[in-house]
Amino acid sequence: MKQDLAGRTARLSADQVGAEAPRALGSSTAPRARATRAKRPRFWVAGAALLALGALVRAAIVASPLGELDGDEAVVGLMARHIAYLGDRPVFYYNQPYLGSLEAFTAAPLFLLFGSSTPLLKVVPALYSLGFLVTGVLIARRLFGTGPALATGLYLAFPPSMWAVWSTKARGGYAEVLFLGQALLLCALWLAERPRRAAGAFAFGLLTGLTIWTHLLGVVYVLPAVAYVMARRRGAWARSEVPAAVLGGIIGALPLLLANLVGGFPTVAALTKPADIPTDPVAQLVRLLRVGVPVLLGLGQPTTSAAMFDLDWLNRPAGFWPVAALAVLFLALAVATWAPSLARLVRVRAGVWRDRDGAALLVLVALAVPPVVAFSRFGFFVSEARYALPLYSTLPLLFGGLWKLPRWVRFAGVLGLLGLNGYSLATTDVRLWRPEETVESTEATRAELVSALVAEDRHQIYTDYWIAYPVMFETRETVLGYVISGGFNRYVPHADNVQRTPNPAWVFMPGSAAEADFLARLRSVGGTAESRDVSVYRVYTNAEPLAALRPR
């Protein structure tokens, strides 16, 4: 009993000491307790203001050209429509059995209430990203106090362009996995300090399962969280905790588990399938540090286009390699500041902890992300480093370290980072966020295209992935598409519909490789087709012989 009391006292945070000391030590500490209680409302008011700022920034992104719908987002929109209106229950993102459907299921009720639209679809990741902001603030406050917590919240409310835009992208689960993963970290901190709580263990397991089902990238949260709790608790487990955690994990991951048991383990098949591009872990790790991390910081422009990246990169601060090197060194030092917490995690006996020892959990996350990116088949996407987004969860380490320095240094540091974020947002090039082959394709130009097609009673098109799926979602599936370039047909029923129609149209960006292939095929079969330009597109109709020209 004495040992438990000592451990509990050792774990008290500064706020808790202020609140509980009068009961333990007498009235001499009452003024400090009153001061602590007086600060709490101010903290929550400041937190609410940060949440409002974050919502405004995301609303501005959605309302700007950066809020244009892309093909992958449109797939989520179609999934949500099928859930809402057809009663479908997809477990995974269409044709991608390692990415869950939580985002689509979250959007479906909104579509039922208000109808499907691009802004409403983007509300879903925006809300999850605000949840990520809240959990980040709570973790930072728990570990480092009010100042670092509010600085973390301010950074996430007004982030660099990479997170500002991706916090509104409904790309299948990125904002969601960051929120769930960070909620899991918060739960791990709580569970490590409060043994013999079956409810806490169940919540931990549930969040673990949900995180893994939502996106397998969640492993960068799950492994550190499990390792941290086990190291902190050692053998101090109640009989009910382990079964409760296992039960929660099964429930959270139940869609993933059932789909694999019934469907012949599609997730395993997808993960063991040879990559389209050979992976080079060492090269991918170097590129993550040279390109990905600076992009996350706002020192470079995110893009998936290799050609546009090469043209733009040298005009960005990170294009000058010493700037990128200093940025990586700065972050490495921020993490290294808290490396001793890892040693304490291993050496200190259970029950004797300081609040800031929880920093070890975030250090583990920081160490987990680079190898996962390096060994991932998608690790080469470092110029749009979405697989490294969990590094934003380690921001409290940065601000916790900054708060060890004099006040003027803290102020200058926060101001400098916010200035960099503002620069990143102000200088972002909208074109670099779009697919290279369809840069000019926007909601407005697609509306002109659809109007021209429907006027001729044409509702089926062969076109690029990044045109087909936005058109299908924006027209509420009154115009259907078959993908012939830029991707593949994720939703087969609509593709099959196009294959059966007697009057399809072919839609291309003028001069594209896909158009050249179509014209070559037309010549090879001695065929004919009528062509005209509609907005930024070239449309071919009345193509003959139709059967010979259809994709096979």
Residue 454 and residue 409 share a domain: no
Q: How confident is the model at residue 39 (pLDDT cuts 50, 70, 90)?
A: low
Residue 60 and residue 142 share a domain: yes
Q: Which tokens is 322 given? A: 């010493």
Q: 29-43, 329-343, 536-550: which range is least confident on average?
A: 29-43
Does 252 score more than 80 pLDDT?
yes
Q: What is the pLDDT of residue 546?
A: 95
| Beta carbons of 516 and 495 less than 8 angstroms apart | no
Among 372, 407, 433, residue at a domain's last position? 433
Identify which of 152, 179, 110, 143 has the alpha carbon closest to the alpha carbon of residue 389: 179
| Beta carbons of 244 and 205 less than 8 angstroms apart | yes
Domain count, the chain: 2
Residue entry with tokens 């010549």? 523
Mean of pLDDT values over 295-313:
90
Residue 400 and residue 383 share a domain: yes
Specify which residues 533 forms β-bridges with.
Answer: 538
Q: From CA 169, how far away is CA 225, in angstroms rounded?
A: 26
Q: How confident is the model at residue 273 (pLDDT cuts 50, 70, 90)?
A: confident
Residue 448 and residue 391 share a domain: no
Between strands 528-534 and 537-544, the pairing is antiparallel
DSSP string of 455-496, one letter each residue: HTT--EEEEEHHHHHHHHHHTTTSSEEEEEESS--SSHHHHH
Q: What is the pLDDT of residue 353?
A: 63
Q: Which tokens is 523 given? A: 């010549």
Q: How confident is the model at residue 302 (pLDDT cuts 50, 70, 90)?
A: very high
- What would the pLDDT profile of 80-116 be if each residue is shown by its tens digit? 999 999 999 999 999 999 999 999 999 999 999 999 9
Residue 126 and residue 59 share a domain: yes
Q: What is the pLDDT of residue 16?
A: 39
Residue 486 and residue 420 share a domain: no
What is the residue range of 182's domain?
Answer: 2-433
Does 298 score more than 90 pLDDT?
yes
Among 433, 463, 483, residue at a domain's last position? 433
| Beta carbons of 171 and 75 less than 8 angstroms apart | no
Residue 492 and residue 408 share a domain: no
- Give the CA distances from residue 332 to residues 329, 336, 385, 395, 455, in Å, rounded to whole numbers and listed in that order: 5, 6, 18, 12, 59
Residue 416 and residue 491 share a domain: no
Q: From CA 303, how far away is CA 127, in angstroms rounded?
A: 24
Does 381 score more than 70 pLDDT?
yes
- What would the pLDDT profile of 344-373 be if each residue is shown by its tens digit? 888 766 555 666 789 999 999 999 999 999
Residue 489 and residue 363 share a domain: no
Residue 141 and residue 104 share a domain: yes
Between strands 460-464 and 96-100, the pairing is unpaired
Among 399, 433, 467, residue at a domain's last position? 433
Residue 486 and residue 355 share a domain: no
Burial 363-374 (b: 16+ CB within 10 A, else e): bbbbebbbebbb
Residue 428 and residue 458 share a domain: no
Mean of pLDDT values over 520-546:
96
How many of the other CB atoms lie within 10 Å of CB of 117? 16
Q: What is the pLDDT of residue 234?
A: 78
Specify which residues 99 forms β-bridges with.
Answer: 215
Does 28 score more than 60 pLDDT?
no
Between strands 460-464 and 505-508, the pairing is parallel
Identify which of 244, 170, 246, 245 has the alpha carbon closest to the alpha carbon of residue 214: 170
- What would the pLDDT profile of 174-209 be if each residue is shown by its tens digit? 999 999 999 999 999 999 887 668 899 999 999 999
Q: What is the pLDDT of residue 378?
A: 73
Dihedral sign for Cα atoms in the order 64, 68, 72, 74: positive
Q: From CA 271, how far away is CA 160, in angstroms rounded?
A: 31
- What would the pLDDT profile of 451-484 be if each residue is shown by its tens digit? 999 999 999 999 999 999 999 999 999 999 999 9
Mean of pLDDT values over 62-85:
97
pTM higher than 0.85, yes or no?
A: yes
Q: How confident is the model at residue 392 (pLDDT cuts 50, 70, 90)?
A: very high
